[in-house]
Structure 1
Amino acid sequence: MKIHILGGSGTGKTYIANKIAEQYNIRHFDLDNIYWDHMSNTYGTKMSVKNRTQKLNDILKNNDWIIEGVFYDWLQDSFSKADYIFILTTKPIVFHYRIIRRFIRRKFGIEKSKKETLKSLKDLLIWTNKYQKYNIPKIIEFLEPYKGKVFFVKNLQDINDIINYSK
């Protein structure tokens, strides 16, 4: 089974991907780990396109995978090979709450993370609102060639219902 999950920050991508990975014994890949160069000494350094493409191709060679993230415009191969493409339709009040909760948990050391500030929290909330308003419509248009396997979902139960119905 090959699954691609899209959504803005705080929409539940990672949580849902982890649950599906556990439930169906499938490896889960976070696109942030492909897009960003975590080995760089500088925060926000992008992986080279060559390395990013190689990492993605290595994932796509697997028989089963779950890929999740906010990115879309360089992922045609992932979308074409996916059995399911899920777009999360989480309400703003929910993703705002999750982003703020995650920030607090990281500040108190409950969750591991990069160093975050109130400014980075504010920037992320603004970015996520713009992503939902402007990027999601672009993503829907971008995914038009794959519309037969694109599903708009609110939660894990919606995804399980679709997967179980398809079997």
Structure 2
Amino acid sequence: MKIQIIGASGTGKSTLENYIAEKEKVKWIDTDCYIWKDETFSENYPIDQRLKMYANDREKYNRFVVSGSVFAWNPTGFNDRDLLVFLTLDDKLRFQRLRQREIERTGESSLWLDMHGNQTNDFLDWCKTYYTANDPSKIGTFAEHTYQMNHSSSPVLKVNSDQSLEELYQTIMRFVIK
């Protein structure tokens, strides 16, 4: 089983992948670990080091679930997957999740109010560009994800993540078993 889940930040990719990995007893690969050196998300790895980490994981694991994308820096990465899952979520709920996560990570004092009175920071401002960014080579954008779905050699399953983890898991497993 080789499943990759993509979608906008805050749709629940990592939470779902971790859940599937535990249920299926497979490796969970979080693509953020290829990019960021630590949990502050302030310093990233050079691409050559990312490629080495990716190659190492691919040598070690035949069965896995992947949360996120490597397409922007490794266009052929995870192309042998069995299923590509695209998670969606209503933007209001997605941004509630993102704001709460940012408060838990960096504290409420790291946020400021935007012109609409919503709490924001640089990361949240970037998340607002998910649907408006047009370059498919830009990581974590709808343009990138659409390109991947349109060119996927594996089946693509689009799922709204406003369901329980168990419901999402069951939906994905029914599709994988087909």
CA-to-aligned-CA distance 1:88-120 (integer Å, 9 cap, x gap):
111101111101112233356xxxxxxx82159
Q: In structure 1, what is the equivalent of residue 85 of structure 2?
A: 86
Q: Which runs of 5+ in 1 are unaligned?
A: 109-115
Q: Which whole-Å CA distance do the structure 1 matches of 2:160 and 2:89 have between them?
A: 6
Could you say if the C-alpha distance between residues 47 and 118 of structure 1 is closer, same or farther in structure 2, counting changes exceeding 3 Å? same
Q: In structure 1, what is the equivalent of residue 170 of structure 2?
A: 160
2:86 aligned counterpart, secondary structure: strand
Q: In structure 1, what is the equivalent of residue 136 of structure 2?
A: none
- Judge which range, 16-25 or 145-154, deviates more: 145-154
CA-to-aligned-CA distance 1:116-164 (integer Å, 9 cap, x gap):
8215942222211212433213321244221642221112434532322
Q: Which whole-Å CA distance do the structure 2 matches of 1:159 and 1:145 have between them?
A: 24
User: Which protein is richer in helix relative to its size?
Assistant: 1
Q: Which whole-Å CA distance do the structure 2 matches of 1:37 and 1:6 have between them?
A: 21
Tell me the TM-score normalized by structure 1.
Answer: 0.80
Could you say if the C-alpha distance between residues 105 and 38 of structure 1 is closer, same or farther in structure 2, counting changes exceeding 3 Å? closer
How do 1:1-167 residues align onto structure 2 when only pairs under 5 Å count?
1-38=1-38, 44-61=42-59, 62-69=61-68, 71-106=70-105, 117-118=110-111, 121-134=120-133, 135-146=141-152, 148-155=154-161, 156=165, 157-167=167-177
2:85 aligned counterpart, secondary structure: strand
- Judge which range, 98-107 or 117-126, deviates more: 117-126
Contact preservation (8 Å) 1:153, 1:159: no
Could you say if the C-alpha distance between residues 158 and 102 of structure 1 is closer, same or farther in structure 2, counting changes exceeding 3 Å? same
Q: Which whole-Å CA distance do the structure 1 matches of 2:154 and 2:4 have between them?
A: 14
Identity between Structure 1 and Structure 2 (%)? 25
| CA RMSD, 1 decimal | 2.7
Q: Give 1:78 deviation, angstroms.
A: 2.9
Tell me the TM-score normalized by structure 2.
Answer: 0.75
